[in-house]
């Protein structure tokens, strides 16, 4: 499983980048020669902070942000 997903992830990225409505605004980080459970170069707390910033940036203006500290 670890080494057979590589092409599938590249194909998924191509499909996402081709999306227009809505456009894809994400990112995929590859870990060449990493196993299936590789979770990226960032430690978990940094990745969660990055995700929270994206959510807050796209939230409606009147949305509460008590969760964001």
- Domain chopping of the chain, boundaries: 6-58
In whole angstroms, what is the distance from residue 12 CA to residue 61 CA? 32
Global pTM value: 0.66
Instruction: Write out the chain's pLDDT in tens, 69 residues.
Output: 566 777 888 999 999 999 999 999 898 888 888 888 888 899 999 999 999 888 888 889 888 878 766
Please identify which residue in the block is written with the tokens 């960032």: 42
Q: Output the pLDDT for position 33.
A: 81
Side-chain-facing half-sphere of 66: CA atoms under 13 Å: 1
């Amino acid at each position: 499983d670890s080494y057979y997903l590589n092409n599938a992830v590249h194909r998924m990225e191509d499909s996402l980048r081709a999306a227009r409505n809505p456009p894809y605004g994400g990112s995929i980080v590859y870990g060449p020669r990493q196993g299936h459970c590789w979770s990226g170069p960032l430690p978990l707390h940094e990745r969660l902070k990055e995700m929270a910033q994206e959510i807050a940036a796209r939230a409606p203006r009147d949305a509460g942000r008590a969760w964001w500290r």
